[in-house]
Chains A and B, each alone.
Chain A
Amino acid sequence: MGTFHDHLGEWHGVTIAMQTRDGTIYVGRCHEVNEHVVVMHDADHHHDGDGGMNTADYLKKAGRWGVFKKHDHLVLECAQVAWIKPLNQF
Protein backbone atom coordinates (compact mmCIF):
# COMPACT_ATOMS: atom_id res chain seq x y z
CA MET A 1 0.00 0.00 0.00
CA GLY A 2 1.09 3.65 0.01
CA THR A 3 2.27 5.77 -2.88
CA PHE A 4 5.48 6.84 -4.57
CA HIS A 5 6.89 8.69 -1.55
CA ASP A 6 8.59 5.87 0.29
CA HIS A 7 10.53 8.21 2.55
CA LEU A 8 7.24 9.26 4.19
CA GLY A 9 6.48 5.75 5.41
CA GLU A 10 4.18 2.97 4.34
CA TRP A 11 1.03 4.84 5.35
CA HIS A 12 1.64 7.91 3.17
CA GLY A 13 -1.49 8.75 1.17
CA VAL A 14 -3.63 6.17 2.93
CA THR A 15 -6.80 7.08 4.83
CA ILE A 16 -6.24 5.69 8.30
CA ALA A 17 -8.08 5.18 11.55
CA MET A 18 -5.90 5.58 14.61
CA GLN A 19 -6.55 5.29 18.31
CA THR A 20 -4.45 7.08 20.89
CA ARG A 21 -3.80 5.75 24.37
CA ASP A 22 -6.49 8.02 25.86
CA GLY A 23 -9.10 6.29 23.65
CA THR A 24 -9.56 9.07 21.09
CA ILE A 25 -10.08 7.93 17.51
CA TYR A 26 -8.58 9.94 14.65
CA VAL A 27 -9.52 9.38 11.01
CA GLY A 28 -7.79 11.13 8.14
CA ARG A 29 -5.33 10.91 5.31
CA CYS A 30 -1.90 9.97 6.57
CA HIS A 31 0.95 12.12 5.31
CA GLU A 32 3.82 10.63 7.24
CA VAL A 33 4.69 8.23 10.00
CA ASN A 34 8.24 8.45 11.27
CA GLU A 35 9.91 7.37 14.50
CA HIS A 36 8.58 10.44 16.29
CA VAL A 37 5.22 11.59 14.91
CA VAL A 38 2.18 10.75 12.81
CA VAL A 39 1.13 13.56 10.46
CA MET A 40 -2.42 13.53 9.12
CA HIS A 41 -4.40 15.77 6.77
CA ASP A 42 -8.14 16.41 6.64
CA ALA A 43 -8.72 14.59 9.91
CA ASP A 44 -11.66 14.04 12.21
CA HIS A 45 -11.51 12.98 15.85
CA HIS A 46 -14.04 11.18 18.00
CA HIS A 47 -14.36 10.41 21.69
CA ASP A 48 -16.51 7.52 22.80
CA GLY A 49 -20.08 8.85 23.09
CA ASP A 50 -19.60 12.00 20.98
CA GLY A 51 -22.80 12.69 19.05
CA GLY A 52 -24.44 9.75 20.83
CA MET A 53 -22.15 7.32 19.02
CA ASN A 54 -19.82 4.84 20.60
CA THR A 55 -16.41 4.15 19.14
CA ALA A 56 -17.46 1.01 17.25
CA ASP A 57 -20.42 2.75 15.61
CA TYR A 58 -18.29 5.77 14.71
CA LEU A 59 -15.69 3.56 13.03
CA LYS A 60 -18.38 1.61 11.20
CA LYS A 61 -19.96 4.84 9.89
CA ALA A 62 -16.56 6.31 8.98
CA GLY A 63 -15.64 3.12 7.14
CA ARG A 64 -18.86 3.26 5.15
CA TRP A 65 -19.08 6.96 4.26
CA GLY A 66 -15.85 8.68 5.30
CA VAL A 67 -15.60 11.65 7.65
CA PHE A 68 -15.94 15.42 7.62
CA LYS A 69 -12.65 16.97 8.64
CA LYS A 70 -12.22 18.91 11.87
CA HIS A 71 -8.49 19.43 11.34
CA ASP A 72 -6.68 20.44 8.15
CA HIS A 73 -3.45 19.09 9.62
CA LEU A 74 -2.75 17.08 12.74
CA VAL A 75 0.52 15.96 14.32
CA LEU A 76 0.52 13.34 17.06
CA GLU A 77 3.45 11.81 18.88
CA CYS A 78 3.96 8.14 18.10
CA ALA A 79 4.25 7.44 21.83
CA GLN A 80 0.56 8.38 22.13
CA VAL A 81 -0.58 5.96 19.44
CA ALA A 82 -2.20 2.66 20.41
CA TRP A 83 -2.92 1.41 16.89
CA ILE A 84 -3.22 2.46 13.24
CA LYS A 85 -5.32 0.65 10.62
CA PRO A 86 -6.52 1.47 7.11
CA LEU A 87 -10.01 2.97 7.35
CA ASN A 88 -11.25 0.56 4.72
CA GLN A 89 -10.88 -2.27 7.25
CA PHE A 90 -13.92 -0.93 9.11
Chain B
Amino acid sequence: MPYPELMVRPMREDLVRIGVRELRTAEDVRAFFADAAGASMIVINSVCGCAAGMARPAVALALQHAKKPDHVVTVFAGQDTEATAAVRGRFPELPPSSPSIIIMKDGQLVDYIARHRIEGRSAHDIAKDMTEVFDEIC
Protein backbone atom coordinates (compact mmCIF):
# COMPACT_ATOMS: atom_id res chain seq x y z
CA MET B 1 0.00 0.00 0.00
CA PRO B 2 1.46 3.39 -0.92
CA TYR B 3 2.51 5.81 1.79
CA PRO B 4 0.70 9.15 2.09
CA GLU B 5 1.86 11.50 -0.63
CA LEU B 6 2.61 14.18 1.94
CA MET B 7 5.20 11.86 3.46
CA VAL B 8 6.96 10.90 0.26
CA ARG B 9 6.96 14.31 -1.39
CA PRO B 10 10.30 15.34 0.14
CA MET B 11 11.78 12.04 -1.09
CA ARG B 12 10.64 12.86 -4.62
CA GLU B 13 11.91 16.42 -4.33
CA ASP B 14 15.39 15.24 -3.32
CA LEU B 15 15.75 14.08 -6.91
CA VAL B 16 13.53 16.53 -8.78
CA ARG B 17 15.39 19.55 -7.46
CA ILE B 18 18.67 18.24 -8.89
CA GLY B 19 17.12 17.83 -12.33
CA VAL B 20 15.88 14.25 -12.27
CA ARG B 21 12.62 13.88 -14.20
CA GLU B 22 9.84 11.88 -12.60
CA LEU B 23 8.00 9.21 -14.56
CA ARG B 24 4.70 8.80 -12.74
CA THR B 25 2.75 6.55 -15.11
CA ALA B 26 3.33 3.61 -17.41
CA GLU B 27 2.68 5.96 -20.32
CA ASP B 28 5.47 8.26 -19.06
CA VAL B 29 7.80 5.24 -19.07
CA ARG B 30 6.75 4.16 -22.54
CA ALA B 31 7.36 7.67 -23.88
CA PHE B 32 10.76 7.81 -22.18
CA PHE B 33 11.94 4.54 -23.72
CA ALA B 34 10.67 5.62 -27.13
CA ASP B 35 13.12 8.52 -27.01
CA ALA B 36 16.00 7.11 -24.93
CA ALA B 37 18.82 7.59 -27.41
CA GLY B 38 22.18 8.19 -25.79
CA ALA B 39 23.08 7.53 -22.17
CA SER B 40 20.32 7.29 -19.58
CA MET B 41 20.01 6.64 -15.88
CA ILE B 42 16.86 5.47 -14.14
CA VAL B 43 16.71 5.87 -10.37
CA ILE B 44 14.22 3.56 -8.67
CA ASN B 45 13.43 5.61 -5.60
CA SER B 46 12.20 4.15 -2.33
CA VAL B 47 11.01 5.17 1.13
CA CYS B 48 13.68 3.03 2.79
CA GLY B 49 16.52 4.45 4.80
CA CYS B 50 19.26 3.52 2.36
CA ALA B 51 17.51 5.57 -0.34
CA ALA B 52 17.57 8.64 1.90
CA GLY B 53 20.99 8.09 3.40
CA MET B 54 22.90 6.72 0.45
CA ALA B 55 21.14 6.36 -2.91
CA ARG B 56 19.70 9.86 -3.40
CA PRO B 57 22.83 11.61 -2.08
CA ALA B 58 24.91 9.40 -4.38
CA VAL B 59 22.81 10.40 -7.39
CA ALA B 60 23.26 14.06 -6.45
CA LEU B 61 27.04 13.61 -6.23
CA ALA B 62 27.24 11.66 -9.49
CA LEU B 63 25.31 14.35 -11.36
CA GLN B 64 28.04 16.84 -10.46
CA HIS B 65 30.50 14.79 -12.53
CA ALA B 66 31.86 16.28 -15.75
CA LYS B 67 30.30 13.51 -17.83
CA LYS B 68 26.71 12.57 -17.11
CA PRO B 69 23.82 10.86 -18.89
CA ASP B 70 21.69 12.63 -21.48
CA HIS B 71 18.56 11.54 -19.62
CA VAL B 72 18.09 11.05 -15.88
CA VAL B 73 14.67 9.89 -14.74
CA THR B 74 13.10 8.30 -11.68
CA VAL B 75 10.20 6.10 -10.70
CA PHE B 76 9.08 5.63 -7.10
CA ALA B 77 8.76 1.98 -6.06
CA GLY B 78 5.71 1.28 -3.93
CA GLN B 79 4.19 4.64 -4.84
CA ASP B 80 4.02 4.91 -8.62
CA THR B 81 3.52 1.18 -9.01
CA GLU B 82 2.50 1.09 -12.68
CA ALA B 83 5.48 3.20 -13.71
CA THR B 84 7.84 1.05 -11.65
CA ALA B 85 6.40 -2.14 -13.13
CA ALA B 86 6.77 -0.67 -16.60
CA VAL B 87 10.48 -0.01 -16.01
CA ARG B 88 11.03 -3.46 -14.53
CA GLY B 89 9.15 -4.98 -17.44
CA ARG B 90 11.84 -3.62 -19.75
CA PHE B 91 14.51 -5.56 -17.88
CA PRO B 92 13.05 -8.94 -16.92
CA GLU B 93 16.58 -10.27 -16.36
CA LEU B 94 17.07 -7.90 -13.41
CA PRO B 95 15.85 -8.96 -9.96
CA PRO B 96 13.52 -6.25 -8.60
CA SER B 97 15.27 -4.04 -6.07
CA SER B 98 14.60 -0.70 -4.47
CA PRO B 99 16.29 1.58 -4.24
CA SER B 100 18.31 0.76 -7.33
CA ILE B 101 19.87 2.47 -10.31
CA ILE B 102 19.78 1.37 -13.95
CA ILE B 103 22.27 2.85 -16.41
CA MET B 104 21.64 2.39 -20.13
CA LYS B 105 23.14 3.31 -23.46
CA ASP B 106 20.66 3.63 -26.33
CA GLY B 107 18.09 1.68 -24.33
CA GLN B 108 20.45 -1.22 -23.61
CA LEU B 109 21.41 -2.14 -20.05
CA VAL B 110 24.96 -1.17 -19.09
CA ASP B 111 24.90 -1.38 -15.28
CA TYR B 112 22.49 -2.11 -12.47
CA ILE B 113 23.22 -0.98 -8.95
CA ALA B 114 20.80 -2.96 -6.85
CA ARG B 115 20.02 -2.25 -3.22
CA HIS B 116 22.70 -4.58 -1.85
CA ARG B 117 25.32 -2.47 -3.67
CA ILE B 118 23.93 0.60 -1.88
CA GLU B 119 23.50 -0.68 1.68
CA GLY B 120 26.25 0.17 4.10
CA ARG B 121 28.30 2.12 1.58
CA SER B 122 29.01 5.82 1.43
CA ALA B 123 27.25 8.05 -1.09
CA HIS B 124 30.70 8.92 -2.41
CA ASP B 125 31.56 5.28 -3.14
CA ILE B 126 28.22 4.63 -4.82
CA ALA B 127 28.59 7.81 -6.89
CA LYS B 128 32.03 6.58 -7.95
CA ASP B 129 30.46 3.38 -9.31
CA MET B 130 28.10 5.55 -11.35
CA THR B 131 30.65 8.03 -12.63
CA GLU B 132 32.99 5.26 -13.76
CA VAL B 133 30.19 4.06 -16.02
CA PHE B 134 29.42 7.65 -17.11
CA ASP B 135 33.05 8.01 -18.20
CA GLU B 136 32.64 4.96 -20.42
CA ILE B 137 29.30 5.72 -22.07
CA CYS B 138 28.67 9.48 -21.89
Contact = CB atoms under 8 A, between A and B. Distances in A.
A87 B119 CA distance: 10
B91 to A, nearest CB: 10
10 contacts: A1-B120, A13-B119, A14-B120, A15-B115, A63-B116, A65-B112, A65-B114, A66-B116, A69-B95, A87-B116
Contacts of B119: 1, 13-15, 86, 88
A66 B49 contact: no
Interface of B: 48-50, 94-95, 97, 112, 114-117, 119-121
Interface size range of chain A in the complex: 10 to 19
B120 A88 contact: yes
A54 interface: no
A3 interface: yes
Given A4-B49, A13-B49, A15-B115, A66 B97 contact: yes
Nearest to B93: A65
Residue among B48, B94, B97, B121 having the largest count of chain A Cβ atoms under 10 Å: B97
B108 to A, nearest CB: 16
Contact of B116 (A3, A4, A86): A86
A63 B48 CA distance: 20
A8 interface: no
Contacts of A65: 94-95, 112, 114
A65 B114 CA distance: 7
